[in-house]
Amino acid sequence: MNFPVIALRGLTILPGMVVHFDASRKKSIDAAQKAMMSDQKVFVTMQKDSEIEDPYAKDLCIYGTLVRVKQLIKMQGNIIRIMVEGLERCRLNGIIERDPYLVGDIEFLPRKSVSEEIEYCRQEAMVRILKEDLDKYSAEVSNNKQAIAHMMTMKKLDELLNQIGIIIPFDPESKQRMLDAPNYEDLYLIAEELLRREAAINEIKKEFQKKVKERIDKSQKEYVLREQMKVIREELGEDSSNTQDADEYEKQANALNAPDSVKEVLLKEIKRFKAIPNGSQEGTVSRNYIETLLELPWNNCTQDNNDTIHAMNVLNEDHYGLEKVKERVVEYLAVRTLVHKGDTPIICLAGPPGTGKTSIAKSVARALGKKYHRISLGGVRDEAEIRGHRRTYLGAMPGCFAKALKEVGTSNPLILLDEIDKTSSDYKGDVASALLEVLDSEQNNQFKDHYIEVPLDLSKVLFIATANDKSMIPRPLLDRMEVIDVTSYTENEKFHIAKDHLIPKQLERNGLTADQLSFTTKGLQKIIHNYTREAGVRTLERQIAKICRKVVREILEQGRGKVKITETSVEKYLGMEKITYNKANTEDQVGIVRGLAWTSVGGDTLEIEVNVMPGSGNLQLTGQMGDVMKESAQLALTYVRSVASEYGIDKKFFEENDIHLHIPEGAVPKDGPSAGITMTTAILSAVTKQKVYADLAMTGEVTLRGRVLPIGGLKEKLLAAKMADIHRVLVPDENRSDVSEISTEITKGLDIVYVKNMSEVLGQALL
């Protein structure tokens, strides 16, 4: 049958209910008026989403109730209050008309008689269980006692279930579940579940109310006692307020060199602090906040030393090499000197450990005459460490940048953000995201610290960040910084660093003088070459310190007055040589090619071996290769198979033979996109039995069609080739610009050949 339809928002009407609701939508009002003019019957059902203004059939619950409209009352604002009585449970089969009101195809779905559906004993058990649940529910609520008492007298299951849905104030979704139940057994299970849930909720609610009441009673008692104490102290002539401290704070606030907006906030907080009773927790929080604002530097700045010559002299004095870093700092100084102001750069020094990134920041601060502060970000995962805690609880603190400014006492220090690539995130927030505002020169003049609440100006701060691996820095954060690569040191650079910095430093630490301990040139070079393998100089410094300690002991025990470390005496103090280098092969071989690899401690050579044996066309990979290298090996084999005919390889060769590719040092994990051409050359050499030049190394990735792609870490790789006494290196043609920036100290003696595709690589590599 067809009936007008009214869509209800957040309301479910069950058969037997008498309820009124307000209708404001024109379609709902028209449907109700149409019902009043005919048989007073209208179908009502709940909307699935109450936000939808003009619902379709899919937006309505399928099961609803046919109701009789008993009364319409016009209210203000074109609202009609409708009183209805639920008649029958029905199903909505579809909407027939949408204008001027909804008309639906309605199917009557009364439930079967309970006696036909459930046997008598089960009915009786269900009634008793429901009454027990009603009893528990009534014990937790104070209203509806009379209605619940009436239900307790009912003996029929269907009557009891219907009344439970009508009387108990379940939420609309729960009532809709009851309406959807196809039979009385399902209806019973839903009703029992809802009753028990309501009883449990009310029990928890009472517990909460009891706790809140106890706390309120305690607070009221404390308030009365404080007021009594206040009166007693006033009678005794004692001052119970914070007036004296507040007056002192007010004087400091008026003398503070800060913006007017800061002073306004500060004076307002001091006025509030004055009214807080002495000794209260709220007073402690307010006092800490006032003292923090007073201790911040705000407009206090130190005078920068803008002498570019002085800055360069200081940087050269403290560090050997690192020309790009020095140039960038001097350029910054030059711009500030010329325009008297300029955007403060945010520099990120990225490079391996031990290359002097942190000490560079100290030298820059000394060169510019700035105060220095270091913030270690390694492992920090609480966003509040950056932005501060909100002042809603005892123990709240400002963030690390506010603390840094407070500690150095100036608004234009140099702040070092150490290990920025090692920040992490968890449920407490994302530290890298919190740093985005700090490291944006367009935003950091209004940095919001949750504790300070007043914008902090960080635009005058010179930020220098350090990172070991810039690929680990989130892209949005990396975009806000100017990255300067601090690459590995050559042996010559290490020699000068050790001679000019490390040896004097360790002599002083160990109480020695240059007369008591000295190093010959060859002795120091042997320590660097045979006892350290690293990108930086930390291990080198430890070896020098070890020699110093042994010499100190000799002086004390044997009375030696002077010790000289020569090439032959190094082993006496440091033991046997620790480092051996894989030198270039002495003879040309089949299936063995020398590759170049970048590691976190510098460059290294990587020998790739390939062997061919009878089999069924399998490719076996060993040597702890990562996913990227495994894919490179598959690409290499595919390319070799694609050009097999050019090298006279039989078509059935790859079906009848297995290829085994191995990288020695199998216990060491290896990965990276730069071994493609090396693997391809090794496989083709093994398959064709053509030898590869022994005095040759190569680096580059290969595509499926044989194009050679550029790689990174070229300086470290060329340095590794030089250490291995290799004189010819194949480098991707797209890396020409990188080679031009590498010092001649590394490239001298190397024949660097640029290659664009595998044909050129094979032409250079195979005999």
**Active-site residue list:** 674, 717
Residue type, 172: P
> Alpha-carbon distance 704 to 641, whole Å?
11
> Alpha-carbon distance 757 to 755, whole Å?
6
- DSSP lists the bridge partners of residue 19 as 84
> Alpha-carbon distance 409 to 581, whole Å?
51
Contact in structure between 766 and 741 (CB atoms under 8 Å): no
> Alpha-carbon distance 499 to 83, whole Å?
97
> Alpha-carbon distance 536 to 321, whole Å?
12
DSSP result, 395-424: T----HHHHHHHHHT-SS-EEEEETGGG--
> Alpha-carbon distance 409 to 73, whole Å?
72
Contact in structure between 720 and 602 (CB atoms under 8 Å): yes
CA dist list (Å): 78 to 23, 28, 74, 100: 9, 12, 7, 17
Nearest Cα residue to 167 out of 199, 134, 144: 144
CA dist list (Å): 46 to 41, 51, 67: 17, 12, 13
The count of other CB atoms within 10 Å of the CB of residue 568 is: 11
Contact in structure between 84 and 68 (CB atoms under 8 Å): yes
Contact in structure between 131 and 138 (CB atoms under 8 Å): no
> Alpha-carbon distance 598 to 671, whole Å?
10
The secondary element (H helix, E strand) that includes residue 519 is strand 517-519
DSSP result, 374-401: EEE-TT---THHHH---TTSTT----HH
Contact in structure between 52 and 9 (CB atoms under 8 Å): no
Tokens 């130190």 sit on residue:
302
- Residues in the chain, total: 767
The secondary element (H helix, E strand) that includes residue 657 is strand 657-662
